[in-house]
């Protein structure tokens, strides 16, 4: 090439000047400025595809952020021990009555609580048919349960040494909603007597079984409802460093003779799994967004082909004035990139706005991952390049003479 240029200089043949970045921007935007309506319509397809992808990723990331915040607040150091399967089919396994005391002596354990299932129903009054319980379970609960769960009361108070001896009950927030009770002081019918509601709990994501239950004091359950004192679930919270050790010792501590009959679970694992799979259902919507993006790319390519056909005289004139084929290709590829870039910017803004609106409505933190923004905008530029290649090559191959005669 250098040898050809030197030969051209010796012959006095004029050479085509190179296009600088400013020149490329100017010639590339000329077609967009002359047909603004077509530009807007072509960019809409790109914008819809990118907006869909950004919104799907953003909503999923916002939901994951809320779950991770819940995990940080609730902790992942709580374990629950429950009766497992007996050696024989149909054998009923019971945890020892002093299970709470034994667990509290394990090194590293900070808080321990327990619940015991009661075979009674809870209703708003004795006039409600016994079968209409709303799926609300009745459980005996120790005083330390709320500390283990890191929960609180929305209204009223928790069970304590004073009210736990009398017919008092605390409702989980789901149970309270089903009974239509929002404040303490109301009464509910359990077994053959009324119990006074002394509190309603806040939501407990780590213990959904408590949310759907009516909780009575451990002593009152034994004296008034025939509770045998055997817990059906022991909840403990230990230091983060002690969790693996406590997990290994928990079953053998509760039942040294038959540790295999004690099942140990981690309630936080459900939230962790939910956070990990939060974006699983977004795959379909991401696919739809990708299809919309491809359709937008086809629209850009179609727009550029039409632009080449309509601007044959311009192309012929530029070629006759010395523009090279490479410069013509650069012009139309740059125009395609600008067209796609405008759609991409609009799509990113729309997707971020849609995510913000959803997060505000659902009470989620607004999260739009930077990789989604960068990847989405990069995809628009890639599609714009591909969409503009064929029209650019076609434009560069036009003969100046034939183009000016058409």
- pLDDT confidence bin for 8, thresholds 50/70/90: very low
pLDDT at 146 over 80: yes
DSSP-derived letter for residue 121 is -
Tell whether the model's pLDDT for residue 1 goes beyond 50. Answer: no
Per mean pLDDT, which range of 24-28, 122-126, 359-363 is the poorest? 24-28
Q: In the prediction, which pLDDT does 272 show?
A: 58
Taking the C-alpha atoms of residue 172 and residue 155, their distance in angstroms, rounded to an integer, is 11
The H or E element containing residue 394 is helix 370-396
Please tell me the distance from the alpha carbon of residue 221 to that of residue 99, in angstroms, as a whole number: 17
What's the Cα-to-Cα distance from 277 to each of 292, 352, 366, rounded to whole Å? 25, 22, 19
State how far the Cα of 71 lies from the Cα of 119, in Å rounded to an integer: 33
Cβ atoms of 102 and 231 closer than 8 Å: no
Q: What is the pTM of this model?
A: 0.58
Task: Return the domain boundaries, the chain.
Answer: 20-69+279-405, 77-265
pLDDT at 169: 96
Q: For residue 332, with 0-12 CB atoms within 10 Å meaning exposed, 13-18 middle and 19 or more buried, which class applies?
A: buried
Determine the Cα angle at 134 with ends 228 and 226, to 5°.
Answer: 15
Q: What is the pLDDT of residue 3?
A: 53
More confident residue, 262 or 24: 262
How far is 141 from 54, CA to CA, in rounded Å?
Answer: 46
DSSP label of 279: T
Of 252, 280, 336, nearest in space to 64 by CA: 280
C-alpha 167: how far from chain center: 42
Could you tell me which residue, 125 or 3, shows the higher pLDDT? 125
How does pLDDT run across 360-381, given as a tens digit for each residue?
Answer: 888 888 888 888 888 888 888 8
């Amino acid at each position: 090439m250098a040898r050809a240029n030197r030969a051209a200089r010796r012959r006095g043949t004029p050479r085509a000047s190179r296009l600088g970045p400013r020149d490329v921007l100017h010639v590339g935007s000329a077609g967009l400025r002359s047909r603004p309506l077509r530009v807007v319509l072509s960019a809409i397809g790109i914008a819809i595809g990118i907006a869909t992808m950004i919104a799907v990723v953003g909503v999923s990331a916002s939901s994951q952020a809320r779950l991770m915040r819940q995990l940080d607040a609730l902790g992942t150091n709580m374990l629950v021990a429950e009766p497992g399967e007996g050696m024989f089919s149909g054998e009923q396994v019971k945890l020892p009555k002093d299970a709470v005391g034994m667990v509290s002596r394990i090194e590293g354990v900070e808080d321990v609580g327990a619940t015991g299932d009661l075979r009674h129903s809870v209703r708003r009054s004795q006039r409600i048919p016994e079968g209409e319980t709303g799926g609300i379970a009745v459980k005996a609960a120790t005083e330390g349960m709320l500390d283990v769960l890191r929960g609180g009361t929305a209204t009223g108070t928790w069970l304590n040494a004073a009210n736990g001896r009398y017919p008092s009950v605390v409702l989980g927030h789901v149970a309270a909603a089903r009974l239509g009770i929002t404040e303490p002081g109301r009464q509910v019918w359990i077994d053959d007597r009324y119990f006074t509601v002394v509190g309603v709990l806040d939501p407990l994501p780590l213990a959904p079984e408590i949310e759907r239950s009516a909780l009575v004091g451990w002593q009152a359950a034994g004296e008034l409802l025939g509770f045998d004192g055997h817990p059906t679930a022991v909840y403990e919270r230990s230091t983060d460093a002690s969790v693996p050790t406590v997990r290994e010792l928990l079953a053998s501590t509760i039942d040294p003779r038959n540790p295999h009959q004690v099942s140990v679970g981690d309630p936080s694992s459900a939230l962790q799994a939910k956070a990990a799979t939060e974006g699983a259902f977004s795959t379909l919507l991401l696919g739809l967004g990708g299809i919309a993006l491809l359709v937008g790319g086809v629209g850009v390519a179609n727009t550029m082909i039409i632009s080449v056909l309509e601007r044959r005289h311009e192309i012929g004139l530029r070629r006759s004035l010395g523009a090279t084929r490479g410069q013509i290709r650069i012009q139309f590829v740059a125009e395609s990139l600008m067209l796609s870039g405008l759609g991409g910017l609009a799509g990113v803004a729309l997707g971020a706005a849609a995510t913000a609106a959803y997060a505000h409505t659902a009470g989620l933190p607004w999260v739009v991952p930077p990789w989604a923004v960068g990847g989405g905008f990069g995809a628009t530029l890639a599609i714009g390049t591909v969409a503009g290649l064929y029209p650019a090559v076609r434009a560069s191959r036009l003969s100046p003479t034939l183009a000016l005669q058409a």
